[in-house]
Amino acid sequence: MIPLVLKRPASRLRRAVFLIAPLAVLLASVISPAGAATGDENNVIRWGGDSEGGFPFMFPNPKNHDELIGFEVDIVDEIARYLGKKTVYVNNAWDNLIPGLTRGLYDMAINGLEVTPEHEEAVNFSIPYYKTFLQLAVRKENLDISSLEDCRGKVVGTLKDSYAQMVLEELGDVDIRTYIVEANTYEDLQNGRLTAALFDSPIAIYSAGFNPEIKFIGPPIGEITYAIAVTKENSGLLRDINEALVHLRDTGRLREIYDTWNLWSPIMAAEFNDYSPRAVEMTRYNEWAETHRPEVALSARLERYAGFLPDFGMAAIVTMKVSITAMFIAISLGLGLAIARVFAPGWAAAAATAFIEFMRGTPVLIQLFFIFYGLPSIGVKLSPFWAGAVGLGLNYAAYEAEIYRSGLFAIPSTQWEAALALGMTRWQAMREVILPQAIRVVIPPITNDFISLLKDSSLVSIITMVDLTKAYGQLAAAYYDYFGPGIMVALIYLILGLPFVKFSRYAERRLAEQDKGGKRGHDNFYRMSARWRHTNLRSKES
């Protein structure tokens, strides 16, 4: 008669699995919430903006990526200096700036925010600090479009949720393609994916003014007003900002900033009633023009790429922290869900099943938005790091639960019978016999899931975190170069995932070796039998 074999997990694999828990705890203990202010809160202005493709508003300095520059950065610095405060910058996606403001991520938002009735329903605006117009752009060889009306029946790109999009919608019969990063629009225009692009004049000047393949056409379109947004409740800060802006306007400091960035225009002259000639040089504009010359030598390009490495390195650390913490949540919660779905009473199994199906059936992007922007309305406020880790962890827990469930079903029923025959309780049989074998079965697919989660962690960039993908977008947009940095980031993701690929293959080999060891299985059986018999005898004697 062939004895029933109680299989034990490989000790190395068990240790590898349980090392994840303390590692995640260690990483979490050294992470502070993103954007946390330091020092006296009353002496700090936290302001939100989007530096990805945000020129000339705000963007990383091409000569020093740790420095944020732009004409709006200069304005914020001058306001803070006038009020005697320090500034703390919080990066957020442009179309999430107002939701982030109402959530309390920062005290004010400034990034070419247009004063529209829809925006005014959600926030209060300061007095205008800049006025401009829309500029239409087409490819150099295009002779079919000379005005906005000619865009009917054409494919036109513009910024998502902007005044330009509203203008195109009102025009009608236009195939509108919306973008989050302005530079991407002009790339598509140059490559023939768009017929025209419609953007605010400052964006057009800095995004396409240096491109010999693109030309500006037609008269100025409409009028756009930029102002600083604050929450409805923060009337005191709004009053201080207005006072500072009036001071900067009356002293001529605002005019100097606009001249420096080559942004003074007839509209601004009429707005400020200042028709005097330029008083300062266009130093910032000239620096930008020099940095973005059409042709860059290969050696200079490689030197630029080498300068990206520290930024990508710091962003990769953020990516790994979020991914490991999220995977620890997914593994822990997924195991509980699988056990509940298989062994718990009917109501608990139904609840676990409902959770799994909901998380698998809804986009992870929507889940992240809900956790970060929706939950604060009921008093649950998570830092960007924990919102990202929890969001990804909950989503992947549903997939992990199904992997564990398949692992549990892969264990023969004879293993249960053998364990119970030795005098184990059902819980002891689950803990000592069934779960260890199930974990052995599911280690390879869990490892593959972590690699998928590592790539999906790029979604946390929508909730103010600067991860590897966000850093790529910022630097690539700053130089209009998505090719070289794209290869670099792809290689970094590959390098980050390779150790887990190696571990998965190692686990598969070890498991195959374990399954071949028939004698080892018999030895395990007799060892387990002797131990449990001894335990039962002692319990009876007592």
What's the predicted TM-score (pTM) here? 0.70
Domains defined for the chain, CATH in brackets:
11-30+301-541 (1.10.3720.10), 41-129+227-292 (3.40.190.10), 133-223 (3.40.190.10)
Q: What CA–CA distance (Å, rounded) separates 516 from 347?
A: 41
Residue 482: other Cβ atoms inside 10 A: 18
Spatial contact of 507 and 439, defined as CB atoms under 8 Å apart: no
Helix (H) or strand (E) segment spanning residue 94: none
Tell me the helices (H) and strands (E) count for the chain, helix number first. Answer: 21, 12
Q: What CA–CA distance (Å, rounded) separates 207 from 202?
A: 8
Q: What angle do CA 254, 260, 264 make, to 5 degrees?
A: 65
Spatial contact of 384 and 376, defined as CB atoms under 8 Å apart: no
Exposure string of 289-314, with b = 16+ CB inside 10 Å and e = fewer, is eeebeeeeeeeeeeebbeebeebbee
Burial class of residue 248 (count of CB atoms within 10 Å of its CB; 0-12, 13-18, 19+): buried
CA neighbor of 157 nearest in space, from 144, 133, 139: 139
Q: What CA–CA distance (Å, rounded) separates 40 from 84?
A: 13
Q: What is the pLDDT along the chain (542 residues), one digit of tens a residue?
A: 334 444 444 444 344 443 344 444 444 443 434 344 444 567 899 999 988 767 899 988 877 878 899 999 999 999 999 999 999 999 888 888 999 998 889 999 999 898 888 889 999 999 999 999 999 999 999 999 999 999 999 999 998 888 899 999 999 999 999 988 787 898 899 999 999 999 999 999 888 877 888 999 989 999 999 999 999 999 999 999 999 999 999 999 999 999 999 999 999 999 999 899 888 899 998 888 777 665 667 777 888 888 888 889 999 999 999 999 999 999 999 989 988 988 888 899 999 999 999 999 999 989 998 998 888 888 888 888 999 999 999 999 999 999 988 888 877 877 877 888 888 887 788 778 877 777 777 877 888 888 889 888 888 887 878 888 888 887 887 777 788 889 999 999 989 988 887 877 777 677 666 655 544 444 454 455 455 445 555 554 54
Residue count of the chain, please give it: 542
Tell how strand 155-159 and strand 64-69 pair up: unpaired
Q: What CA–CA distance (Å, rounded) separates 107 from 202?
A: 25
pLDDT attached to residue 295: 60
Q: Is 530 helix (H, G, I), strand (E, B) or coil?
A: helix
Half-sphere exposure of 259 (CA within 13 A, CB side): 14
pLDDT attached to residue 541: 52
**Residue 249: DSSP 8-state:** H
Written as one letter, the residue type at 524 is: N
pLDDT attached to residue 245: 96
pLDDT attached to residue 436: 78
Name residues whose C-beta falls within 8 Å of residue 442's C-beta, 6 or more positions apart in sequence. Answer: 403, 404, 406, 407
Q: Is 108 helix (H, G, I), strand (E, B) or coil?
A: strand
Structure-block tokens of residue 402: 């199904």
pLDDT attached to residue 230: 96
Q: What CA–CA distance (Å, rounded) separates 2 from 373?
A: 60
Task: Give whole-number Cα distances, 506 to 320, 509, 511, in Å.
Answer: 21, 5, 9
pLDDT attached to residue 31: 40
Tell how strand 59-61 and strand 64-69 pair up: antiparallel
Q: Is 344 helix (H, G, I), strand (E, B) or coil?
A: coil
Q: What CA–CA distance (Å, rounded) separates 213 from 190?
A: 7
If you compute the radius of gyration of the chain from its CA atoms, what whole number of angstroms results?
30
Q: What CA–CA distance (Å, rounded) separates 65 from 498?
A: 28
